[in-house]
Structure 1
Amino acid sequence: MRWIHAAGRGLLVLVVILTGYAASGVRADGGATGGRGPLTLATAGDLTGYLGPLLAGWNRAHPAEKVTLVELPDSADETRAQMATDLRDGDRHRFDVLNIDVNWTTEFAAAGWIRPLPRDRFPLGALLPPVVDTATYEGRLYAVPYVTNAGLLLYRKDVLAAEGVPPPRTWAELERYAEAIAPKHGLAGYAGQFLPYEGLTVNAAEAVYSAGGSILGDEGERVTVDSAAAREGVGFLARGVREGWIPRDALAYKEEESKQAFQDGRLLFLRNWPYAYVGASAEGSKVAGKVGAVPLPGPDGPGTSVLGGSNLAVGAHARHPDSAARLIAYLTSERVQRQVLTRGALPPVRADLYEDPELVAAFPYLPTLRESVLAAAPRPKSPRYDQVSLAVQAVVHDAMTGRQTPEAAVRRLARELAALSHR
């Protein structure tokens, strides 16, 4: 599982497991009353290999709480399934602390799988404000943000410069450039992550949010998707496929496939996470030196991205909750967050790093990413998020492939989400 995700791949989602040898108590407010010991940290898909050196630093300073690194499957869905199975096992669990996709916090908290945390043990005031909301449920802190993310629009700056036009700020400009300029340069117009999986949920939510709509409200208790804004957002995606400025190949794209298409010089525009900018700009890429990044466009100006990333949470049956909290504080410290970016190419959650001149020089997309994160919104919160996501994927894919009109698709989605909320 990758932290890009919105899920999906690239944004590399870690699962942290802390395994100890002695049970310990927890205060009613979620604070640990004791309990330190060796730790096991499991990660799904640490593709850049940055985590080992980070943990070596912890191990040198905390020999009695040594962390052993273990990897889980690369797939977000498989990792979530393994985590859920383990957490349901109660006293037989292996997972003490988990680094979960930001959108699993509500589900895991509602199920009683993770415990509330004391706010004063963590540097919440130093974090980008929107990321803290992803770690709460019913007003309580159930996790600590570790990595954030927001979607960006990557574009071929050499092509737009040759045409004398700025990068698009609206859907109309994006459509016009994708339809008229891209073919002149032998390119397809626009792609995102449109295979029916978590990535399509993210792309669909961004389209709906950018049009001013929403999908769910009140922690998943209220269905809000049946709106003109939602029909406009789904219609934007369906129209792109129907008119050809979204290539039909993109209906099978996840993060990696879409990144590769852009990196190989086959696309004018791509919606993806910042890791795709890094890959497309790297040595060996056919478009190195030709890549720009701006916030996602919307109907009348900049749109709204979905927040990606991951949060660190402590399992309800954690054996060493004090060690768990200490490791979380370490992983969210300024020094370590800097290494999360420089070694792992993962967007940090600490606000000051986005204005650091040295980091901005090395990662030019940081100011744009900060702008996108500050304007971003979480995916719909729900204790049944996995089922919500499956419904969104299926319905929007049917609209994009022409099986249903956007209007019919939105009505169907509203019915399916309403049925879920009453289970």
Structure 2
Amino acid sequence: MRWIHAAGRCLLVLTVVLSGYMASGASADGTHGTGRGPVTLATAGDLTGYLRPLLQGWNRTHPGEKVTLVELPDSPDETHAQMVTDLRDGDRGRFDVLNIDVAWTSEFAAAGWLAPLDRSRFPLSSFLPPVVGTATYDNKLYAVPYVTNAGLLLYRKDILAKEGLPPPRSWAELEHDAKTIAPKYGLDGYAGQFLPYEGLTVNAAEAVYSAGGTILGNEGERVTVNSRAAREGIGFLARGVREGWIPKAALSYTEQESKQAFQDGHLLFLRNWPYSYVEASAKGSAVAGKVGAVPLPGPAGRGASVLGGSNLAVNTRARHPDSAARLIAYLTGEHAQRLVLTRGALPPVRADLYQDPALIRRFPYLPTLRASVLAALPRPKSPHYGQVSLVVQAVVHDAMTGRTTPSAAVRRLARELAAISRQ
């Protein structure tokens, strides 16, 4: 399974739908008033098949609360649309526990669709600290982190070794190597996810954050994008296309296309999620054994990644809220989180797994990913996040294609985001 935060294909959405409801109010295991009973878990894009064995373990130990697996579309936009349609339904609806993109927590909570959760029921202190912030809104816990993610800079370590160079530690070094070294080996310089979709929102936010800027503040009530840092960040991306070290083909890349270009040996540098490191390093890849990964660079040193991943939340209309919470606790426990990594190739939220020697031998990028997650920032929080993301995508794409300047793009962002915040 690949989680696409902000990035199309990697997105994981789990939904618990209650079945076997008893009109008398008794749960399937004979208890009364406990909120327990059978559940149905819907997921988008379980590409590695890790989830069914994980749920079988739950079913063996919870016979009165069995989970049936249902899948939603792979596309994050389609998944979001189906969830919103269901949550707006005046009836009880199908969805009881939602595993939502981390950027949707504020939107769904502000709409009144998510039930506040009791912090004491979940191992929040065992998680990497930044991920907990993605599950809160208005200082309340509305979800529990399940999968995290942070962007990494993948690079061809064989080529940099031939040149006697370390991986880039700043934008200047990245630009220099992408412009001068990549052409010597018949490669394009650098790519990310630059198609106008959620992935571009992530890449743009990372550029702005790395330059020291922000986009929104106060849960979306304040627009902060009109800054030198935002102009510098968007200018970095636009300059890359204009000068050619970002290939024009990258303007149509999602996670999958950009990963494939790197995996096929066409790129020197790639910004992507950790799963791309795993696949590029796997047997059969043209660059297997030649891939390195470091945190994203910024203008004068280490940059900032955007936090990706998914959060588990309970619908306010859930019939069996206790079973919903118990399932969430199970999926965020140590055993399940280990399987998330080893069978699902997804970054877990539990901190101790990133320092497990056996796991590091198997997944050598874990220390780099841990550092990236600890320094990562959430996407702009807003009750109108969908609209915010659409504006960012459109405006930044215009800047990258040369339809507008970075300065004009920032001014337009400020105007359009202000209009959204006033809704």
Fold shared, TM-score > 0.5 on shorter chain: yes
| Residue 22 of structure 1, CA deviation | 4.5
> Who is 2:14 aligned against?
15
User: Using the alignment, how far apart are the partners of 1:24 and 1:254 within structure 2?
Assistant: 49
User: Using the alignment, how far apart are the partners of 2:93 and 2:303 within structure 1?
Assistant: 42
2:65 is equivalent to residue 65 of structure 1 = yes
> Who is 1:286 aligned against?
286
User: Using the alignment, how far apart are the partners of 1:288 and 1:381 within structure 2?
Assistant: 38
> Who is 2:86 aligned against?
86
Q: State the secondary structure of the residue aligned to 1:6.
A: coil
Retained in 1: the 8 A contact 2:105–2:135?
Answer: yes
2:226 is equivalent to residue 187 of structure 1 = no
Any idea what the Cα deviations from partners look like across 1:156-205, whole Å, max 9, x if unmatched?
Answer: 00000000000001000000000000000110000000000000000000
Please give the root-mean-square deviation of Cα atoms over the aligned residues, in Å.
Answer: 1.4
> Who is 1:28 aligned against?
none
Is the alpha carbon distance of 1:170 and 1:23 closer, same or farther for their aligned partners in structure 2, counting shifts above 3 Å?
farther
2:146 is equivalent to residue 149 of structure 1 = no
Any idea what the Cα deviations from partners look like across 1:340-362, whole Å, max 9, x if unmatched?
Answer: 00000000000000000000000
Equivalences for 1:17-36 in 2 at 5 Å?
17-20=16-19, 21-22=21-22, 34-36=34-36
Runs of 4 or more, structure 1, over 4 Å off, are: 22-25
Retained in 2: the 8 A contact 1:2–1:74?
Answer: no
Q: State the secondary structure of the residue aligned to 1:288.
A: coil
Equivalences for 1:7-406 in 2 at 5 Å?
7-10=7-10, 12-20=11-19, 21-22=21-22, 34-406=34-406
Retained in 1: the 8 A contact 2:208–2:229?
Answer: yes
Write the letter of the residue equivalent to 1:386.
Answer: G
| Residue 33 of structure 1, CA deviation | 6.4
Q: State the secondary structure of the residue aligned to 1:92.
A: coil
Retained in 2: the 8 A contact 1:22–1:35?
Answer: no
User: Using the alignment, how far apart are the partners of 2:124 and 2:247 within structure 1?
Assistant: 42
| Residue 3 of structure 1, CA deviation | 1.1
| Residue 414 of structure 1, CA deviation | 0.4
Matched pairs, number: 416
| Residue 63 of structure 1, CA deviation | 1.1
Write the letter of the residue equivalent to 1:62.
Answer: H
Write the letter of the residue equivalent to 1:96.
Answer: D
Any idea what the Cα deviations from partners look like across 1:341-390, whole Å, max 9, x if unmatched?
Answer: 00000000000000000000000000000000000000000000000000
Q: State the secondary structure of the residue aligned to 1:177.
A: helix
Write the letter of the residue equivalent to 2:182.
Answer: A
User: Using the alignment, how far apart are the partners of 1:18 and 1:164 within structure 2?
Assistant: 55
| Residue 309 of structure 1, CA deviation | 0.1
Write the letter of the residue equivalent to 1:178.
Answer: A
User: Using the alignment, how far apart are the partners of 2:23 and 2:397 within structure 1?
Assistant: 47
Q: State the secondary structure of the residue aligned to 2:17.
A: coil
Q: Gapped runs of 5+ residues in structure 1?
A: 26-31
Write the letter of the residue equivalent to 1:17.
Answer: V
TM-score normalised according to structure 2 size: 0.97
Is the alpha carbon distance of 1:289 and 1:14 closer, same or farther for their aligned partners in structure 2, counting shifts above 3 Å?
same
Retained in 2: the 8 A contact 1:275–1:345?
Answer: yes
Equivalences for 1:403-414 in 2 at 5 Å?
403-414=403-414
Any idea what the Cα deviations from partners look like across 1:245-270, whole Å, max 9, x if unmatched?
Answer: 00000000000000000000000000
Write the letter of the residue equivalent to 1:293.
Answer: A
Any idea what the Cα deviations from partners look like across 1:297-337, whole Å, max 9, x if unmatched?
Answer: 00000000000000000001000000000000000000110
User: Using the alignment, how far apart are the partners of 2:193 and 2:23 within structure 1?
Assistant: 44
Retained in 2: the 8 A contact 1:97–1:318?
Answer: yes
User: Using the alignment, how far apart are the partners of 1:376 and 1:47 within structure 2?
Assistant: 26
User: Using the alignment, how far apart are the partners of 2:246 and 2:379 within structure 1?
Assistant: 23
User: Using the alignment, how far apart are the partners of 1:341 and 1:293 within structure 2?
Assistant: 18
Q: State the secondary structure of the residue aligned to 1:380.
A: coil
Q: State the secondary structure of the residue aligned to 2:14.
A: coil
User: Using the alignment, how far apart are the partners of 1:115 and 1:197 within structure 2?
Assistant: 29
Write the letter of the residue equivalent to 1:192.
Answer: G
| Residue 24 of structure 1, CA deviation | 11
Q: Gapped runs of 5+ residues in structure 2?
A: 26-31
Retained in 1: the 8 A contact 2:97–2:314?
Answer: yes
User: Using the alignment, how far apart are the partners of 1:121 and 1:88 within structure 2?
Assistant: 28
Retained in 1: the 8 A contact 2:7–2:254?
Answer: no
| Residue 2 of structure 1, CA deviation | 4.4
Retained in 2: the 8 A contact 1:6–1:307?
Answer: no
Is the alpha carbon distance of 1:24 and 1:124 closer, same or farther for their aligned partners in structure 2, counting shifts above 3 Å?
farther
